[in-house]
């Protein structure tokens, strides 16, 4: 079975390295992007099993990315990450059709568990 | 030497002699020639006589033949008598001829054969006469016979030949005689002329030389007489031969008859040290006579001419002949009393200057110290004031006070350093430290300042962490801070590169090359010359502000390390400041942890502060209280001693100079108590001098902090001796990375990423703050918080959170940002330390 493909949108270089390293170590095929626009372009060009996006990015933020994808008729399975503590973000992520929401700094085991869960789940 | 000169020299030396020899040779030649001419004349004469003889032989023979014929034809006996007498003549003449040509065998042979023919002919003639007398004669009309005619012809032919040969001999001899006379005359005239010329020339040269010598002697004598230095020359017996005017002014005019042994007394020559008369044997001339060179011996002449005495420097040397035997001696003497007096004045002036310079240095040191004490209060109190509730204006004012105090303190430290260096009191305090870490920390200090000016700050170190070098890390850091600070200060746009490379020195130590290169405004050759001059500053330096002390101190410090700072620079393209220092290295454990601020760190423990000044007590106790440390106070050593008897403390801060009982005594007493052996005691001193430091360690103190106390130093001490109650880094947050580390350490990779990214974030923060763009500020803080939190930088994340939440502009934002910068530096360092320690 071919490796499952994950698209990541993350502007923080430190978090990017962490996410890429963790996902790659589990055998996923990871594509990293640095902002919303880049992620949107990649997503429309290729087929991904999962989209992981940071909420807070310069330019197109996480929600705006999901909103634009939805508007243009793309369906996605997404996990949104924020470094903010408010529960409000969690709810808003779900409202935007995200599969799940993660709090930064990432608990890596929880992160991997949620990724796996998301990929397993069939709509 | 030119050929012409050689010739001239030869003529001068041998010309006259040669001309005499030539005259002699000419005479001998002329004599010999005369002899040979005489001989030639004789031989010509001889030839003439031979010819005459030949002629008479011919004549006599003709006469004899005619007489015989007369007799035959007439029978007259008179003819017979004539014939006989002719034969007698012929006999004699032939004999004469024979004798004459005896020296010439060829001619002799001819004469002999002529004699033979003649004898035959005479026999025939006689035969005819006898036939006549007997009447039995048959002859022709001429009275001759055919055989007789033949013989006569032969005789004539022989005679002719003889004559012919003699004629040619004569011609030859004449020729020889003439030519030899001609040649010899020519040679004699020429040689005589040459000899005369040579003689005259040599005479002239010698005369000219004599004249020159005379002129020379006259000139020498004039020079000697006009010399300002006295000059005397003595002969083999030690008697004066030359005493010039200057010498006479010292020893008088009538000195030629004074014996060497009486001179010391006669001239009043005294030893300047003892003022006693010299022994005659000690005098320069006496010593020179023994072959010694006496150089500038000081002698006082005290005599009628100089009743007060005059100080002279006397130089004596022996005069030697070609065989190196002493043939006399000479001495020169010079009045040096004026020079001595000047020297004395100069010595006094120099002493005074040194004294003044020392006093100045001491004054500077004292002043610095006096200024530092009140500044302790200003700095401490303003630090505390900044933490109280202030409105934004007040907060700004306090910040200005702190900044100004800080720069004043830097300046005073500079002056103190410089005066210590000048007074030779600054010494290095070497210990093992991690050089790479130190350089890296120093460069990190400028990370933000560089980012703010859009300067790319790069560090290249050719070796890894863990290389301990034995040196004074604080002083080396001071130099690097100065050089990097300048590089950034004088670069508007571009890059600053700090490079450290190492190589093995010939001494077995490691040689480290430190280089700070910028792409800034650069320096002209003239400016470089001025750089290390005290208080010298370039025009650009003046524009940028600063005391101009930094580089000078840096240079002096590097000098103390046995090297010096060098500059390569081009106006407009940048400068490179570099130096090479040798250190001993060790891979083993080294003990000095670089001082670093860890603000807001909270410690556990109780501390005793022993300090007589109330202001200082207040400052230090407030800071300690803020850091969560329980603090007791004592006004002097006596009180401290009492407290130590009844309480226990984790750390003691001890002022050195206090009334009643000073810090040194108190420490010694405290250390003598059984439970106080190992409690850390840290000296507080306003002196900052290393002498104090040594004394502190001698009496048993563990560490040394100079006043005014600076936060980073205090924190470092606390960190060293007290337990921290709160970790700046959440190590648990890092543990989860371990399983994702492969060959590398993921955390170290992340730290690298973080280091690359945060200066840009900080820059954006400050720009946003400046522009009053709070939204931007919140966003950047959020991003930085995310990265920092991922690395477990709790404190950094906390400040970022605060900035992210800031919704109204306030002065505090900027101060929190400054705090953030320090926190990041310290967190990165602690993280690196944590990881390298594990490795």
Residues with Cβ within 8 Å of B825's Cβ and at least 6 positions away in sequence, in order, are: B441, B444, B445, B447, B596, B597
Pairing of strands B294-301, B269-270: antiparallel
Mean pLDDT of B575-601: 61
- The answer, for B786 touching chain A at a CB cutoff of 8 Å, is yes
Residues B766 and B717 occupy one common structural domain: no
Whether residue B4 lies inside any domain: the answer is no
Residues of A in contact with B757 (CB under 8 A): 12-14
Measured in angstroms, the CA of A64 and the nearest CA of chain B are apart by 16
CB pair distance less than 8 Å for A18 and B790: yes
| pLDDT score, position A120 | 85
- What's the CA angle centered on B449, arms B443 and B453, to 5 degrees? 125
Report the pLDDT averaged over residues A5-32: 92
CB distance B754–A108 less than 8 Å? no
CB of B792 less than 8 A from some CB of A = yes
Q: Which domain holds residue B361?
A: 342-418
B426-436: average pLDDT: 80
Closest by Cβ to A105, choosing from B740, B783, B789: B789
Using CA atoms, how far apart are residues B573 and B519, in angstroms rounded to an integer?
6
DSSP secondary-structure letter at B290?
Answer: T
SS3 labels along B144-203: CCHHHHHHHHHHHHHHHHHHHHHHHHHHHHHHHHHHHHHHHHHHHHHHHHHHHHHHHHHH
Instruction: Write down the pLDDT at residue B465.
Output: 76
- Residue A84's closest chain B neighbor by CA? B782
Last residue of one domain, picked from the residues B318, B335, B352? B335
DSSP B376-442: HHHHHHHHHHHTS---HHHHHHHHHHHHHHHHHHHHHHHHHHHHHHHTT------EEEEHHHHHHHH
- CB pair distance less than 8 Å for A84 and B782: yes
Tell me which of A23, A27, A61, A105 to substitute to probe the interface with B (most B C-beta atoms closer than 10 Å): A105
Q: Check B740 against A105: CB less than 8 A apart.
A: no
The 10 Å Cβ neighbour count of residue B295 is 11
Chain A: closest CA distance from residue B507 (Å): 45
Tell me which chain A residues have a C-beta less than 8 angstroms from the C-beta of B749. Answer: 17, 21
- Is B58 an interface residue toward A (CB < 8 Å)? no
Task: Please check whether residues B160 and B40 belong to one and the same domain.
Answer: yes
Indicate which CATH number applies to the domain containing B559. Answer: 3.30.565.10
- Tell me: do B286 and B186 sit in the same domain: no
Nearest to A21 among B740, B787, B797 (CB): B740
Q: What is the pLDDT of residues B680-701, one digit of tens each?
A: 899 988 765 556 778 888 888 9
Residues of B in contact with A16 (CB under 8 A): 753
Average pLDDT, chain B: 82
- The Cα-based distances of A21 to A25, A39, A53, A78, B732 in angstroms read 6, 19, 16, 19, 19
Cis-peptide, bond into residue B459, ω within 30° of zero:
no
Q: CATH number of the domain that B669 lies in? A: 3.40.50.2300
- Domains contained in chain B, number: 6
Model pLDDT, residue B1: 55
Same-domain check for residues B655 and B786: no
Q: Which among B733, B782, B790 has the least Cβ separation from residue A14?
A: B790
Distance of CA B815 to the CA centre of its chain: 58
pLDDT at residue A102, as a whole number: 85
Chains A & B: contacts with CB separation below 8 Å: 63
Handedness of CA B46, B47, B51, B57 (dihedral sign): positive
Interchain CB contact of B734 with A (< 8 Å)? no
Of A22, A83, A107, the CB nearest to B786: A83
Partner-chain residue, chosen from B740, B753, B782, that has the shortest CB–CB distance to A14: B753
B787, B792, B801: best mutation site toward chain A, by most A Cβ within 10 Å? B787
pLDDT at B267: 87
Which of the two residues, B590 and A58, has the higher pLDDT score?
A: A58
The answer to whether the Cα torsion of B596, B602, B604, B605 is positive or negative is: positive
The residues of A whose Cβ lies within 8 A of any Cβ of B are: 11-18, 21-22, 25, 54, 56, 58, 83-84, 104-109
Considering only the beta carbons, identify the residue of B737, B740, B786 that sits closest to A12: B786
E strand or H helix at B511: strand B510-518
Residue labelled with tokens 């329980």: B630
Element (H, E) at B578: strand B574-586
pLDDT > 90? residue B152: no
Q: Is residue B211 part of a domain?
A: no
Is the pLDDT at B435 greater than 70, yes or no? Answer: yes
Q: Which of B780, B783, B793, B828 to mutate to test the interface with A (most CBs of A within 10 A)?
A: B783
- A11 to chain B, closest Cα gap in Å: 8
Mean pLDDT throughout A41-48? 92
More confident residue, A42 or B836: A42
Set of chain B residues whose Cβ sits within 8 Å of the Cβ of A106: 790
Q: Do B753 and A13 touch (CB under 8 A)?
A: yes
ipTM of the complex: 0.84
- Provide the 3-class DSSP secondary structure of residue B207: helix
CB contact under 8 A, A56 and B782: yes
Cross-chain Cβ contact B783/A56 below 8 Å: yes
How far does the CA of residue A116 sit from the closest CA of chain B (Å)?
Answer: 17
How far away is chain A from the Cα of B786, in angstroms, using its nearest Cα? 6
**pLDDT reported for residue B792:** 86
pLDDT over 60 (residue B838) = no
Exposure string (b/e) for B750-779, b if CB count within 10 Å is 16 or more? bbebbeebbbebbbbbbebbeeeebebbbb
Contacts with A, B 60-89, CB within 8 Å:
none
Residues of chain A with Cβ-Cβ distance to B786 below 8 Å are 12, 14-15, 54, 56, 83, 104-105
pLDDT tens sequence across B112-130:
888 888 888 888 888 888 8
Contact B786 A105 (CB under 8 A): yes
What distance separates the 2 farthest-apart alpha carbons in chain A?
39
User: Per the structure block, which two tokens stand in for B596?
Assistant: 């670093």
Over residues B545-566, the mean pLDDT reads: 83
**Nearest chain B CA: its distance from A17 CA (Å):** 7
Range from B121-130, B413-422, B779-788 that averages highest in pLDDT: B779-788
Chain B: residue whose CA lies nearest to A103: B786
* B733–A13 C-beta distance less than 8 A: no
Residues B436 and B327 in one domain: no
Are the C-beta atoms of B643 and B608 separated by less than 8 Å? yes
Judge: A14–B737 Cβ closer than 8 Å, yes or no: no
Find the CB nearest B791 among A14, A58, A84. Answer: A14
Asked whether residue B404 is assigned to any structural domain, the reply reads: yes
- Residues of chain A with C-beta less than 8 angstroms from the C-beta of B790: 12, 14-15, 18, 104-106
A123: distance to nearest CA of chain B, Å?
Answer: 31
Structure confidence at residue B592 as a pLDDT band (50, 70, 90): very low
Q: Would you state the structure tokens that stand for residue B144, as one six-digit string?
A: 């001759």
- Give residue B595's pLDDT: 31
B837 vs B648, higher pLDDT: B648
Residue B395 shares a structural domain with residue B513: no
- Residues in a beta bridge with B630: B606
Nearest CA in chain A to B732: A107
pLDDT at position B724, please? 61
B808-827 pLDDT, tens digit each: 888 788 888 888 887 888 78
- Taking the C-alpha atoms of residue B828 and residue B683, their distance in angstroms, rounded to an integer, is 30
Is B591's pLDDT higher than 50?
no
Here the CATH number for the domain that contains residue B819 is 1.20.120
Q: What average pLDDT does the segment A103-112 reach? A: 85
Q: What percent of chain B has pLDDT over 70?
A: 92
CB contact under 8 A, B786 and A56: yes
pLDDT tens digits, B330-385: 999 888 888 888 988 999 999 998 888 878 877 877 777 777 778 878 888 887 78
CA atoms within 13 A on the CB side of B722: 30
> How is chain A split into domains, by residue range?
5-120
Q: Does B364 map to a domain?
A: yes
Query: What's the residue count for chain B?
Result: 839
DSSP code for B793: B
Reply yes or no on whether the pLDDT at B594 is more than 50. no
Which of B759, B748, B754 is CA-nearest to residue B821?
A: B759
CB B789 to CB A84 under 8 A? no
What is the mean pLDDT of the segment spanning B592-605?
Answer: 46
Looking up residue B187, the CATH number of its domain turns out to be 1.20.120.1730
The answer to the question of residue B120 being in a domain is yes
In Å, how far are B368, B385, B414, B417, B709 from B377, measured between CA atoms? Answer: 15, 12, 20, 22, 10
Residue that terminates a domain, selected from B687, B707, B724: B724
Confidence of residue B318 (pLDDT cuts 50, 70, 90): very high
Asked if B612 and B699 sit in the same domain, the reply is yes
Residue in B733, B740, B785 closest to A83 by CB: B785
Rounded Cα–Cα distance for residues B377 and B622 (Å): 12
Name which of A30, A55, A83, A86 to mutate to probe chain B: the one with the most chain B Cβ atoms within 10 A of its Cβ.
A83
Q: Is B748 on the interface with A (CB under 8 A)?
A: no
Which residues of chain B lie closer than 8 angstroms to A12, CB-CB?
757, 783, 786-787, 790
Top-tier CATH class for A5-120: alpha beta
- Residue at a domain's end among B369, B391, B418: B418
- B247: domain CATH number? 3.30.450.20
What's the pLDDT tens digit per position in B602-617? 676 789 999 888 777 8
Running DSSP on this structure, what letter comes out for residue B651?
E
């Amino acid at each position: 079975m071919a490796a499952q493909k994950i698209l990541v949108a993350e502007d923080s270089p430190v978090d990017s390295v962490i996410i890429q390293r963790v996902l790659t170590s589990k055998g996923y095929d990871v594509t990293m992007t640095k902002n919303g626009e880049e992620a949107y372009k990649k997503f429309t060009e290729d087929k991904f099993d999962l989209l992981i996006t940071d909420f807070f990015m310069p330019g197109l933020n996480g929600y705006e990315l999901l909103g634009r994808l939805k508007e243009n008729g793309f369906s996605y399975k997404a996990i949104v990450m924020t470094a903010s503590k408010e529960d409000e973000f969690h709810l808003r992520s779900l409202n935007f059709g995200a599969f799940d929401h993660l709090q930064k700094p990432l608990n890596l085991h929880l992160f991997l568990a949620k990724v796996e869960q998301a990929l397993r789940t069939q709509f | 030497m030119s050929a012409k000169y050689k010739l001239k020299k030869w003529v001068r030396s041998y010309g006259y002699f040669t001309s005499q020899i030539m005259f002699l040779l000419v005479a001998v030649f002329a004599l010999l020639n005369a002899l040979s001419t005489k001989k030639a004349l004789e031989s010509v004469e001889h030839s003439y006589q031979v010819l005459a003889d030949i002629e008479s032989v011919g004549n006599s023979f003709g006469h004899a033949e005619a007489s015989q014929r007369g007799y035959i034809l007439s029978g007259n006996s008179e003819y017979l008598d004539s014939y006989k007498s002719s034969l007698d003549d012929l006999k004699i003449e032939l004999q004469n001829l024979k004798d004459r040509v005896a020296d010439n065998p060829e001619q002799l042979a001819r004469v002999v054969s002529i004699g033979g023919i003649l004898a035959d002919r005479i026999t025939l003639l006689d035969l005819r006469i006898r036939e006549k007398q007997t009447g039995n004669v048959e002859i022709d009309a001429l009275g001759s016979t055919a055989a007789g005619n033949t013989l006569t012809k032969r005789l004539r032919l022989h005679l002719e030949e003889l004559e012919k040969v003699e004629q040619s001999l004569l011609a030859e001899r004449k020729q020889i005689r003439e030519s030899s006379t001609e040649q010899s005359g020519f040679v004699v005239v020429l040689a005589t002329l040459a000899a005369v010329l040579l003689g005259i020339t040599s005479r002239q040269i010698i005369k000219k030389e004599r004249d020159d010598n005379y002129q020379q002697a006259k000139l020498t004598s004039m020079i000697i007489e006009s010399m300002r230095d006295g000059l005397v020359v003595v002969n083999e017996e030690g008697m004066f031969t030359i005493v010039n005017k200057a010498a006479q002014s010292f020893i008088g005019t009538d000195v030629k008859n004074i014996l060497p042994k009486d001179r010391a007394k006669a001239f009043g020559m005294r030893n300047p040290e003892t003022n006693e008369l010299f022994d005659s044997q000690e005098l320069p001339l006496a010593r020179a006579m023994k072959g010694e060179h006496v150089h500038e011996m000081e002698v006082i002449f005290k005599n009628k001419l100089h009743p007060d005495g005059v100080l002279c420097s006397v130089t004596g040397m022996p005069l030697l002949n070609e065989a190196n035997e002493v043939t006399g001696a000479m001495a020169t003497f010079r009045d040096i009393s004026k020079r001595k007096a000047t020297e004395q004045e100069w010595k006094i002036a120099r002493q005074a200057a040194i004294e003044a310079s020392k006093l100045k240095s001491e004054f500077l040191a004292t002043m610095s110290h006096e200024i530092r004490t009140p500044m302790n209060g200003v700095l401490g109190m303003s630090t505390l004031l900044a933490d109280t509730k202030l409105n934004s204006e007040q907060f700004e004012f306090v910040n200005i006070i702190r900044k100004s105090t800080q720069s004043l303190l830097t300046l005073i430290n500079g002056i103190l350093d410089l005066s210590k260096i000048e007074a030779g009191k600054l010494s290095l305090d070497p210990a093992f430290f991690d050089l790479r870490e130190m350089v890296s920390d120093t460069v990190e200090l400028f990370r933000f300042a560089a980012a703010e000016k859009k300067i790319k700050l790069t560090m290249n170190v050719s070796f890894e962490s863990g290389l301990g070098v034995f040196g004074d890390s604080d002083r080396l850091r001071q130099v690097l801070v100065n050089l990097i600070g300048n590089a950034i200060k004088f670069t508007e746009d571009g890059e600053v590169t700090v490079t450290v490379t190492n190589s093995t020195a010939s001494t077995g130590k490691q040689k480290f090359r430190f280089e700070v290169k910028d792409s800034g405004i650069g320096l002209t050759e003239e400016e470089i010359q001025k750089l290390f001059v005290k208080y010298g500053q370039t025009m650009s330096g003046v524009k940028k502000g600063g005391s101009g002390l930094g580089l000078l101190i840096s240079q002096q410090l590097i000098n103390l390390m046995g090297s010096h700072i060098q500059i390569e620079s081009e106006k407009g393209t940048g400068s490179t400041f570099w130096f090479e220092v040798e250190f001993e290295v060790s891979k083993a454990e080294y003990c000095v942890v670089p001082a670093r601020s860890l603000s807001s760190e909270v410690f556990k423990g109780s501390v005793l502060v022993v300090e007589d000044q109330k202001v200082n007590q207040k400052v230090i106790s407030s800071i300690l209280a803020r850091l969560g440390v329980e603090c007791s106070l004592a006004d002097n050593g006596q009180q401290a001693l009492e407290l130590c008897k009844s309480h226990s403390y984790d750390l003691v801060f001890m002022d050195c100079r206090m009334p009643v009982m000073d810090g040194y005594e108190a420490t010694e007493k405290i250390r003598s108590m059984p439970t106080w052996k190992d409690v850390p005691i840290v000296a507080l001193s306003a002196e900052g001098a290393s002498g104090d430091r040594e004394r502190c360690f001698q009496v048993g103190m563990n560490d040394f902090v100079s006043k005014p106390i600076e936060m980073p130093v205090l924190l470092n001490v606390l960190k060293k001796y007290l337990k921290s109650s709160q970790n700046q880094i959440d190590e648990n947050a890092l543990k989860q990375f371990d399983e994702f580390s492969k060959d590398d350490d993921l955390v170290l990779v992340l730290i690298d990423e973080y280091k690359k990214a945060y200066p840009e974030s900080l820059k954006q923060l400050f720009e946003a703050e400046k522009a009053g763009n709070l939204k931007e500020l919140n966003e950047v803080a959020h991003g930085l918080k995310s990265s920092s939190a991922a690395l477990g930088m709790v404190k950094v994340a906390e400040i970022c959170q605060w900035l992210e939440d800031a919704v109204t502009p306030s002065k505090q934002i900027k101060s929190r940002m400054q705090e953030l910068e320090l926190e990041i530096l310290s967190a990165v360092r602690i993280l690196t330390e944590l990881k390298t320690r594990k490795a």
